[in-house]
Amino acid sequence: MALMNAIAIITAAELASDLAGENPPVLLDVRWQLSVAKAAGAPAFDGRAAYEAGHLPGAVFVDLDADLAGPAGAAGRHPLPDVASFGAVMRRAGVSADRDVVVYDGGQGWAAARTWWMLRWTGHPSVRVLDGGLAVWEGPLETATPSPEPGTFEPAPGAVALLDADGAAALARTGTLLDARAAERYRGDVEPIDRVGGHIPGAVSAPTTENVAGDGRFLPAEELASRFKSLGASGGSDAVGVYCGSGVSGAHEVLALAVAGIDAALYVGSWSEWSSDESRPVATGPDPQ
């Protein structure tokens, strides 16, 4: 599998320069928020409404739940989408393999990272995430919905590593499996969404929120590399994997690892899939085991 460190992020200043150039990138707006309130029946965050209120000029809205995931079920809350349908969405957004893509969200980075990972997994060679998202953009916004020229991107899954439940369980024993959720969910102190709290036995707590500064931008690559090394993930020949609740914040940790120069596999089903199967073991407390 190819290392996913092919310039994984882009600054707002760099993006402004690229947009003013002769071959501007395709822009994808993927605003989304994990809503605990939604799990309780309250209305979820409306990413499309946020997009329509103002977005980067030329950006096309992508719906994480509808376009970047299949129906929720036994495979988790955000399982992989139908690949052909995903490809069609990307082509409608103007994505082609020979044109750069830049993805952004409201600033948290999770949804943008999921899009980045999906495009990388399906073989797109040049995808970057706007570091800090819309929150750090100082340029103009627009409300018009663009009609881009259709792209030609044809997804070819398998370009980067993917884990299933059995693979994640094995990696927790033979390599380093990082749990990107909040530490209290890892320990099992609370579980606001899934059937049971805790973590995959052998997994190491590594909240992805600790990979960014207060403004949502990633810490410097050297700091990230040092953090991951302290957690047992230094790259090289040692395999590294990541999971979270449903393969969204985990993608953000995979992106942070890429910034640090470390290749990592994503367990897309994550805790929402693992915990739904009562036959799978659950560890609690701060100890990985």
Strand ranges of the sheet holding 204-205, from the earlier edge strand across to the other edge = 162-163, 265-267, 240-243, 176-179, 204-205
d(CA 91, CA 93): 5
d(CA 81, CA 66): 8
Using alpha carbons, select from 70, 57, 36 the residue that is nearest to residue 193: 36
Residue 213 vs residues 107, 132, 269: alpha-carbon distances, Å = 11, 9, 27
Catalytic residues: 244
Residue 77 vs residues 87, 136, 193, 244, 269: alpha-carbon distances, Å = 21, 29, 10, 11, 7
pTM check: above 0.85: yes
* Per-run averaged pLDDT (10 residues), the chain, 289 residues: 59 96 96 67 82 97 96 95 98 97 96 98 97 96 96 97 98 97 96 93 98 96 97 87 97 97 97 96 95
Using alpha carbons, select from 123, 115, 126 the residue that is nearest to residue 157: 123
Q: Give residue 182's pLDDT.
A: 96
